Structure 1
Amino acid sequence: MLRDLSPAAVSAGFVATLVGFTSTIALIFHAARSLGATPEQVSSWVLALGLGMGLTTIGLSLWQREPILITWSTPGAAVIASAATGISLGEATGAFLVCGVLMLLCGVTRWFERIMDRIPVALASALLAGILAKFALMAFAGGSTHPALVVTMLVTYLVGKRWWPRYAVLGVLVIGTGLAAAQGLLNTHELKLSWAQPVWVTPQWSWHAVIGMGLPLFIVTMASQAVPGVSAIRVSGYAAPVSPLMSWSGVATILLAPFGGYTFNLAAITAAIVLSPHAHTDKAKRYTAAVMAGLFYIAMGVLGGAVAGLLNAFPSALIMGVAGMALLGTIASGLAASLREDRFREAALITFLVTLSGVTLLGVGSAFWGLVAGTLTLFVENFHTRPTNDIDSP
């Protein structure tokens, strides 16, 4: 591990953690408070999520020697917040356990892996590119409010790619942070050291909570996060066993749900950061970036109450700028792979555009509907088609 580690891997792990926390931690806080959680219980949620993500990421990455990043379910947090009316925190905890059991069953029975094996690489690549392109667009959109910061980070990235490609993203992070500090954009006065403590919540069983929250949480997590998460790993050229990853995600959810670890699953957007060549030029050593992300996850979780202040210290333009530029190479590779074969080209393009649109139907995000649209396109294009003969029949 130490021999394989590099500064670029440390940087990629830190950026992945930073992006993962800053992009959705506010949604996590909102979901917990919607269930009536106290400040101590909210801090316990951060601790449980940080420990769960960190330990599973480190364990699975070292086991497979591949960059496997586990994270919380972002769309799942939105489901919790929207379905919290009339559901107590104990009943929600019972629903979290049901979700974890269903995920474990998907892994043990290999149902999810069988479905993923039938998805063409072109569609999986288009799906991943569509998800990541939204973050790249947000990175450059920040130029409307902080043009000097975004332009400086872009120039730093281009110069870094030319002369020190392994550390281009690290340079963007360092220069961007320095410029943000010089412009007074870092709110360092909000930083406070506060340790998190685990708070047990006894699960309560309610059919209303299971049907209204547990099942939607499971469906949305698997459709909107597990599918692109597996796609990210496969598109990057790794062959990690899908079913065990699903099983361990379910086990982590079951063990940590009473403390606030509502759902764990494969990361997609942040995973692309540790899967990219920016993390390490040697593909066999990129697992070290995921391990570093796991260590940063644990540190974030232990700090608990201080996380919110830390995240507020960095301007969103800086976070999204670093993330967007770190993902450019992966987006380009995904688009190239998705459009390479003529027979999949139009289906892949539709998958990409629907995913990029951000459309949400029935509480399920655009990643799932992009895949549905692409699959439907392939079905229509190949319905009742027959191969043509080289010799015309009389």
Structure 2
Amino acid sequence: MGTKTIMSGLMSALLACTGGAIMIVQAAATAGLTKAELVSWFTSAYVIGGLLNLFLTLRYRIPFAGAHSITATAFLGTTAIGFTFPQLAGAFVMSGVLLLLAGISGLFAKVMDVIPKSLIDALLAGVLLSYVIGIVPAAVQLPYAGLLAAAGYFIMPRVFKKWPPVLWSILFGLIGLSLEFRLPALPHADYIPPLLVIPQFTIEGFLSIAIPMSVLILSNDLAVALAALRSNQYNPPVNKTLMASGFASILAGWFGGNAANVGGLMSALCSSAEAGPKEKRYGAALLSSVIVIVFGAFAWRVIDMLDALPSPFVAMLTGFSLLGLFLRALKSAFSDKFLLIPACITFAIAALHLGMLGISTPVWALLAGMVFMKLLKKRNAKEYL
């Protein structure tokens, strides 16, 4: 395994083990989960997600990489309030079933045709807005960390282009934090095993969590991964990839894990030319998956390390971790002039977190965007006649 392959595998794993890990902790805190429940969520998402991608990579000799969906986890940070752990587990299992059905039926492309990508990206940008805005007050409370994290994100990638901006922001942010905050000693901790959860299946969980999560995973993880693999001259089995991600997500859900799927950016990293010769790039995905599995296995200790960080710093890192995704989604959301008004409405409802009748914001945001899109089509048809 060459140097390029090893570095690509490390970079891929770090994407999952930094921002993605912090977001799980935040989403669990939003839902008011206990440490044992958080450990179970964390362990199952990373271990099962890592095993899924390890299996797919070995089976097809194609560089599949991933753990859980960072996009879906960010979404849960605003919607998990009011759900018990068994209810969340039920919603996660149902999301996995939807992914499985999408693979079995071959309806993935049809679903993506019904919901324009610009509206999905408008929804995503609206959901992520609060995280990105949170960078500012966090940087005010921790100015050294804020300034250095910003320098790492915006300046260092121009000099060293191989490392993604988020990794520079975390590294420089930690340096800044060391200048103004003394980390407490880690408490003694015993091993906490994952918990087998009896899922509770509810209509609210299906409408508010399962459907939006499956759409986000399909569009922002699986579609990105499959497109990246194809652009790098691989021929991934589309329906089997969806089915495998659905099955793994169902299994993770029984332990409280939000998802276990092939990741978009992680697969893109491991399959790119920067990962070395084409026939050896699957080694980067193997390394990434092994690191992800080990990281998840030590969740009971990793969580203590994350808890030792001051909350403004966690908010800052979360914002920087999602900033690139937010900017890409924002650009895509408003790129279609015909869908500009529906995208604005979708974005506004998602950003304001408007939920009613026990149904979460993303459902209303997409529904409103689709309704306005249909109205615009009818008006344009009448004007044409």
Q: TM-score range by the shorter chain?
A: 0.7 to 0.9
Q: Note if contact 1:52-1:261 (Cα within 8 Å) is conserved in structure 2.
A: no
* Structure 1 pair 103–172 and aligned structure 2 pair: CA distance change class (3 A): closer
Unaligned runs of 5+ in 1: none
1:128 aligned residue: 124
| Pick aligned residue for 1:115 from 111, 116, 121 | 111
Measured against aligned partners, the alpha-carbon deviations of 1:81-116 in whole angstroms (never above 9, x if no partner) come to 73549xxx7x99788767755653454234555322
Distance, in Å, in 2 between the alignment partners of 1:42 and 1:325 is 23
After superposition, what is the alpha-carbon deviation per residue over 1:16-62, rounded to whole angstroms, capped at 9, x for unaligned? 3222222233654786967xxx95x7655543333223222444567
1:9 Cα deviation (Å)?
A: 5.5
Q: Counterpart in 1 of 2:209?
A: 221
Q: Which residue of 2 aligns with 1:171?
A: 168
Contact 2:119 2:342 in 1 (8 A): yes
Let me know the Cα RMSD of the aligned residues.
4.4
Cα distance in 1 between the residues matched to 2:94 and 2:158: 50
The one of 310, 315, 335 equivalent to 2:305 is 310
Equivalent residue letter for 2:207:
I
- In structure 2, which of residues 325, 330, 334 is the aligned counterpart of residue 339 of structure 1? 334
Q: Deviations over 1:294-319 (max 9, x none)?
A: 44442233124213211113334444
| Residue of structure 1 in register with 2:14 after alignment | 14
Larger radius of gyration, structure 1 or 2? 1
Q: Given that residues 354 and 366 in structure 1 are in contact (C-alpha distance below 8 angstroms), is that contact kept between their aligned partners in structure 2?
A: yes
Q: How far apart, in 2, do the equivalents of 1:313 and 1:10 lie?
A: 24
CA offset at residue 274 of structure 1? 4.0
Partner of 1:367: 362
Quick one: which of 34, 37, 50 aligns to 1:54? 50
Secondary structure of the corresponding residue to residue 342 of structure 1: coil
The alpha-carbon distance between structure 1 residues 171 and 318, as it changes in their structure 2 partners (threshold 3 A), is same
Gap change, CA 1:57 and 1:82, over 3 Å in 2: farther
Return the TM-score normalized by structure 1: 0.72
After the TM superposition, which residues 287-302 of structure 1 pair with which residues of structure 2 at under 5 Å, given as runs?
294-302=289-297
**1-side partners of 2:349 and 2:108: how far apart?**
22
Distance 1:222 1:200 in 2: 20
2:151 equivalent among 152, 155, 173: 155
Identity %: 22
Q: Say whether the 8 Å CA contact 1:191–1:306 is kept in structure 2.
A: no
Distance 2:323 2:41 in 1: 32
Distance in 1, Cα, partners of 2:88 & 2:137: 37
The alpha-carbon distance between structure 1 residues 358 and 81, as it changes in their structure 2 partners (threshold 3 A), is closer
312-321 vs 235-244, greater mean Cα deviation: 235-244
Distance 1:310 1:337, change over 3 A: same
CA contact (8 A) 2:99 2:246 kept: yes
| Mapping for residues 225-304 of structure 1, pairs under 5 Å | 225-233=213-221, 234=223, 237-238=227-228, 243-256=239-252, 260-261=255-256, 263-264=258-259, 274=266, 294-304=289-299
- Assess if the C-alpha contact under 8 Å between 2:45 and 2:260 holds in 1: no
Q: Give the letter for the 1:153 counterpart.
A: A
With normalisation by structure 2, the TM-score equals 0.74
- What amino acid does structure 2 have at the position aligned with 1:17? C
Question: Does the alignment pair 1:23 with 2:23?
Answer: yes
SS in 2 for 1:70: coil
Q: How many residues align?
A: 369
Structure 1 residues 41-120: aligned runs within 5 Å = 43-60=39-56, 63=60, 65=63, 68-71=66-69, 74=73, 82-84=82-84, 101=97, 104-111=100-107, 113-120=109-116
Any unmatched runs of 5+ in structure 2?
231-235
Note the alpha carbon deviations across 1:197-228, whole angstroms, 9 max, x for none.
35556x59xxxx44x4xx44343333332222
The whole-number CA distance in structure 1 between the counterparts of 2:176 and 2:250 is 43
Distance (whole Å) between structure 1 residues aligned to residue 380 and residue 96 of structure 2: 42
* Equivalent pair of 2:122/2:329 in contact (CA under 8 Å): yes
